[in-house]
A and B are shown apart, each in its own frame.
Chain A
Amino acid sequence: MSFRNRRKDVGEEKTAAAAETKREFERLALPLIESLFNFACWLTRNQEEAEDLVQETYVKAWNGFVTFRGKATFRTWIFRILRNAFLSSRKDVHAARVESLDEERHEEFLPHTSETPESIFVEQASLSAIREAIGEIPLPMREIIILREVEEMSYQEIGVVLGIPIGTVMSRLARARLTLRAVALAKLGGPRK
């Protein structure tokens, strides 16, 4: 085989491998577009900004796809990219995050109540009240609520996306649920406990 033919073969192999990588990326990434967009909307609270954030996430994920080793699932990996891109774009969000983590150091777990306040809440809450309340609770709570309840991520997956230990996932989630309930109840004119 001549040198020129060998070079041509190597070139074709590289092209085929690149096409295969792209197909694999699209197979993993494109089905997540709705979820990522929804998450981005809740983070930014602005659909245009969310659109940009999703595009930025896909480009970053594609550029870093060769480094993706499957240690985390692809879904947690790309959600983490989106969240980090969002945080990088917002200096004030960085500050809010630090404040939230400081607070959590002093509160490993929330006190347990024997009542089941959700039972009252569930009967009274309307969809719009919950939706508004999700939009109003602090960002660290909002993001964990969406990852857990909408994306149905495990505590471990949430820990990977947010870069926090599982104990913090549990305490933050518990606090987020209580806050969400209180805000939604207040919208319905109920008691704010």
Chain B
Amino acid sequence: MTCGKIRRKFDQFLSKELPDAELREIESHLAGCVACRAGAASLKRWKRQIRTAGKRFSKKTQSIHQLANLLEAAGRR
């Protein structure tokens, strides 16, 4: 695979969503390609940042109890 093709698969590579053969091929490419290795590391960091930023809203514990009551009521109907 070329660098371009490898980079298009970084996201799935990082989440191990590719077949074993492709994962090995990308690992092997990264071992020998500094630019792609840096690209993969950058994407990994960026994903982590988005994840942190995206986990923004938190539900109160009391909502779980309210929800349980709601389900109880829905179940009785």
With A and B bound together, what is the CA distance between A38 and B63 in angstroms? 13
In the complex, the answer to whether B75 meets A51 with C-beta atoms within 8 Å is no
With A and B bound together, what is the CA distance between A33 and B68 in angstroms? 11
In the complex, the answer to whether A38 meets B67 with C-beta atoms within 8 Å is no
In the complex, the answer to whether B68 meets A149 with C-beta atoms within 8 Å is no
Enumerate chain A residues within 8 angstroms of B68, measured Cβ to Cβ. Answer: 26, 30
With A and B bound together, what is the CA distance between A115 and B56 in angstroms? 30
Q: Which residue of A lies closest to B39 (CB)?
A: A116
Given A154-B15, A154-B17, verify A134-B71 contact (CB < 8 Å): no
Enumerate chain A residues within 8 angstroms of B45, measured Cβ to Cβ. Answer: 118, 122
Per-position 1/0 for B18-45, Cβ under 8 A of A: 0000000000000000010011001101
Is A112 positioned at the interface, with any CB of B under 8 Å from its CB?
A: yes
**Nearest Cβ on chain A to B43's Cβ, whole angstroms:** 5
With A and B bound together, what is the CA distance between A154 and B17 in angstroms? 7
With A and B bound together, what is the CA distance between A15 and B11 in angstroms? 48
Q: Which residue of B lies closest to A112 (CB)?
A: B4
Enumerate chain A residues within 8 angstroms of B39, measured Cβ to Cβ. Answer: 116, 118-119
In the complex, the answer to whether B74 meets A134 with C-beta atoms within 8 Å is no
| Secondary structure of the A contact surface, majority rule | helix
Q: Which residues of A (111-156) have their CB < 8 Å from a CB of B? A: 112, 114, 116, 118-119, 121-122, 125, 127-128, 130-131, 134, 145-146, 148-150, 152, 154-155
**Nearest Cβ on chain A to B48's Cβ, whole angstroms:** 9
Given A112-B4, A119-B42, verify A127-B71 contact (CB < 8 Å): no
Enumerate chain A residues within 8 angstroms of B50, measured Cβ to Cβ. Answer: 130, 134, 145, 149-150, 180
Enumerate chain A residues within 8 angstroms of B54, measured Cβ to Cβ. Answer: 38, 42, 131, 134, 145-146, 149-150
In the complex, the answer to whether B58 meets A34 with C-beta atoms within 8 Å is yes
In the complex, the answer to whether A33 meets B67 with C-beta atoms within 8 Å is yes
Q: Which residue of B lies closest to A119 (CB)?
A: B42
With A and B bound together, what is the CA distance between A105 and B53 in angstroms? 30
5 closest Cβ contacts across the A-B interface?
A150-B54, A41-B57, A116-B39, A130-B53, A119-B42
Residues of B within 8 A of A (CB): 3-4, 7-8, 11-12, 15, 17, 35, 38-39, 42-43, 45-47, 49-59, 63-64, 66-68, 70-71, 74-75
Residues of A within 8 A of B (CB): 18, 22, 25-26, 30, 33-34, 37-38, 41-42, 47, 50-51, 54-55, 58-59, 62-63, 109, 112, 114, 116, 118-119, 121-122, 125, 127-128, 130-131, 134, 145-146, 148-150, 152, 154-155, 173, 180
